[in-house]
Structure 1
Amino acid sequence: MSNAQLKQEIIAYSKCIGIDKIGFASADPFVTLKSRLKAQEELGYQSGFEKGTIEERTEPELLLPEAKTIIAIALAYPSKMKNSPKSTRDERRGLFCRASWGEDYHHILRRKLEALENFILEKMPDSKCLSMVDTGELSDRAVAERAGIGWSGKNCSIITPEFGSYVYLGEMITTIDMPEDTPIEDQCGSCNRCVEACPTEALIQGGQLDSNKCIAFLTQTKDFLPEKYRQKLGNRLYGCDTCQVVCPENKGKDSHIHLEMEPDPHVVKPLLKPLLSISNRDFKESYGHLSGAWRGKKPIQRNAIIALAHFKDESALPTLWELLRKDPRPVIRGTAAWAIGKIGSSSGKKILLEAKEHETDQDVLNEIELSVKSMEFETI
């Protein structure tokens, strides 16, 4: 069997196991990407979640000696939720981004890649393969772009003609030299909607992202959220879809192909107040299967507090007061203090001043003092 024939068999098999798009790229170094990554590093735009050195992220042979081809795959996920629960005055809800609906996509893609790898090794036992999804060294987007899966949009997502940017990406480096696919020409043109719509101006320009400003990144951090971004968070608990929602290429794109990606509406759009008192066990049981739960419950709870402040939900004050008094985590206490100030009830100032008498953490004390001052200013 020739390598070209093997490629066709791989493509046919990929369809049998539910891979929506597959492409083949050379394993040559990503020279342009390397220079871009160095510029990102110098500008301080990296998130800190990146794995490996810049060389490892751009030179496939460092990861798999004698690498010849990279196989890129894409799976389409839903963009619309059926039976979405409403957020009401008495029952405010948060939201997980679309990429965190259903089962954690890392598990789904790894299963597909493992099946694909087994198929290849049966055909070519002497070959070697190395698969990765999102958390590997290689840039999923750069590989997918080179393999013709889609073009790299100004929103820093791969945009496919069939599914828009609502796709999960994964790749496999192989030592088999197979024919390459042709990259898709950029279709963004003069459209700049994603850059203009970004809530925090994290999209510096088309295709360049300051990760430290990106809400998708900020929702995953565990420390205090900088105050200038708290109001931008809205009711987001994990991730942000704004740059995808406004993209014209995503209009009408809604794929319900994989049952395991279908969201439970009450899980991905949960009531906010119960999240503040949920136990570790219950959190893991209810949310552990989501990709958005990978950082644990603390960032989700912090974001839920910010969301309640966004809604100015006075019914949350007793719970926030309990957190401020008793929660062992300074980030949660401090964010609760900030939220009490933003909700701005008549009892809020008294609550904050009482808490100040017993608080020992300086960061929390700062949050209390700033909240008290803001409430005093508003009453002038």
Structure 2
Amino acid sequence: MRVHIASLQRELIAYAKSIGVDKIGFTTAAPFMELKNRLRRQQELNYQSGFEESDVELRTEPTLLLDRAESIISIALAYPSRMENAPLGKKGARRGVFCRASWGVDYHVAVRERLQKIEAWLQERVPTVAIRSMVDTGELVDRAVAERAGIGWSAKNCSVITPEFGSYVYLGELITNIPFVPDTPIEDECGDCRLCIDVCPTGALIEGGQLDSKRCIAFLTQTKTMLPDEFRTKIGNRLYGCDTCQTVCPKNKGKLNWIHEEFTPDPELAKPLLQPFLHMSNKEFKTTFGHVSGSWRGKKPIQRNAILALAHFREEAAVPELIELLHKDTRPVIRGTAAWAIGKIGTPEAEEVLLLARSKENDEEVLAEIDKGLQFLR
């Protein structure tokens, strides 16, 4: 490959900045040996979410993903930590919240666009180049690549923290056969701080850098089954994701990151009214929320979470629609969650409604939720 690597690398860094990449770093395609041990330990402890690639070798051996791989290019795009004109919920008009990573356009789309432009740029200059790019859903662990490429350090909250933008960054990477000069990793600056571990609502952060994904609210809000009892009062009004371990981090203080227009949230979508989710059709959901990353699992998890949020607020105005869901919805998870919420809110008609539903219900899981609702009333 006859190309001046240092010159190409300098030009690539400048090009990346020109297309809206906030940070770019380089590392080798060597195996991620320490990560390999951590991932195996995660599997032994059953801490993985199930959304990630299960093959540890593929997650830690870049040469298995691209033949003759020499380097990995890591990129980061900053996203905002605060919105302007955030609407306030009130009695009769309660609101839920999508995490910051679901504000604005789906980050998978935004990061992938930059990666594709970088691919095309490299192919134009080095016709023999081999490239494989990925963002979030690829085999490699984005955070591990970013850490080794000097983008930031891997923090106790399992995010990558950059000095410039805090942990509010989206990550993506390209594996290539061009032997770029690797960057030096950044020193860990978490020190003795353990705020993120101490305030995690479900105790999902076991220790610095180790996460029990199945207890993480960000994961739980994406599940489609009945939410386990112990987490129902902990998700509050979160519809998708959780930002607690980021918002308490001292390294994120003052990092507003109002940089990319495409990530500017529509306040009515980032903090939407809860009750419309109770009667929203799939088509309406896709039309309204289809462009945000929080929509990827469809309407059902968001609708279930909206029901739990209304129960969290004990929102009596929602009870008529919850009763309708309990009697008419075809999905056991929605009927069961509605029954639980009706009992939790506890309006005068709740007992009669739940007893009637119990006399007609055939699903064992829903019957169990009706009984839990009745227990609240007794």
In the TM superposition, what is the alpha-carbon distance from 1:374 to its structure 2 partner? 2.7
Determine if the alignment matches structure 1 residue 80 to structure 2 residue 94: no
* Superposed counterparts of 1:239-250, under 5 Å: 239-250=241-252
How many Å separate the matches in 2 of 1:246 and 1:369? 38
Distance 1:52 1:375 in 2: 44
What is the aligned counterpart of 2:16 among 14, 17, 22? Answer: 14
Task: Give the alignment's TM-score, normalised by structure 1.
Answer: 0.98
Q: What is the CA-CA distance between 1:5 and the residue it aligns to?
A: 1.2
> Aligned-pair distance for 1:268?
1.2
Q: Is the 8 A contact 2:24 2:74 kept in 1?
A: yes
Q: CA deviation at 1:52?
A: 4.7
Q: Aligned partners of 2:74 and 2:40: how far apart in 1?
A: 24
Equivalent residue for 1:170, pick from 158, 172, 176 = 172
Letter in 2 for 1:185: E
**Distance of 2:372 and 2:225 partners within structure 1:** 18
Name stretches of at least 5 consecutive residues in structure 1 with no aligned partner.
Answer: none
Residues 1-380 of structure 1 mapped to structure 2, 5 A cutoff: 1-376=3-378
Q: Distance in 2 between matches of 1:223 and 1:24?
A: 40
Contact 2:153 2:185 in 1 (8 A): yes
Give the Cα separation in 2 of the matches to 1:72 and 1:171. 4
What do residues 234-286 of structure 1 show as CA deviations (whole Å, max 9, x unaligned)? 00000000000000000000111111111100011110001110011110000
* Secondary structure at 2:234 match in 1: helix
Q: Deviations over 1:32-75 (max 9, x none)?
A: 00000000000000000012510000000000011000000000
* Unaligned stretches of 5+ residues in structure 2: none
Aligned partner of residue 237 in structure 1, secondary structure: strand
SS at match of 2:276: helix
Deviations 1:141-174 (A, max 9, x none): 0000000000000000000000000000000000
d(CA) in 2 for partners of 1:197 and 1:70? 35
TM-score when scaled to structure 2?
0.99
Q: Distance in 1 between matches of 2:318 and 2:289?
A: 22
Q: Within 2, Cα distance between the matches of 1:113 and 1:94?
A: 33
The CA deviation at 1:371 is: 1.5
- Measure the CA separation in 2 of the matches of 1:68 and 1:277: 52
Q: How many pairs does the alignment contain?
A: 376
> Secondary structure of the residue that 1:173 maps to in structure 2?
strand
Q: CA deviation at 1:344?
A: 1.3
Partners of 2:266 and 2:361 lie apart in 1 by: 39
Query: Structure 2: how far apart are the matches of 1:331 and 1:321?
Result: 14
User: Distance between the aligned counterparts of 1:110 and 1:172, measured in 2?
Assistant: 10
Counterparts of 2:375 and 2:101, CA distance in 1:
39
Letter in 2 for 1:330: P
Q: Secondary structure at the match of 2:16?
A: helix
* Separation of aligned partners in 2, 1:172 and 1:52: 20
Report deviation, 1:347: 1.2
TM-superposed deviation, 1:373: 2.1
* 1:175-204 Cα distance to aligned partner (Å, 9 max, x none): 000100000000000000000010000000
SS of residue paired to 2:138? coil
Query: Residues 52 and 124 (structure 1 numbering): CA distance in 2 closer, same or farther, change over 3 Å?
Result: farther
Q: Is the 8 A contact 2:346 2:376 kept in 1?
A: no
Q: CA deviation at 1:231?
A: 0.2
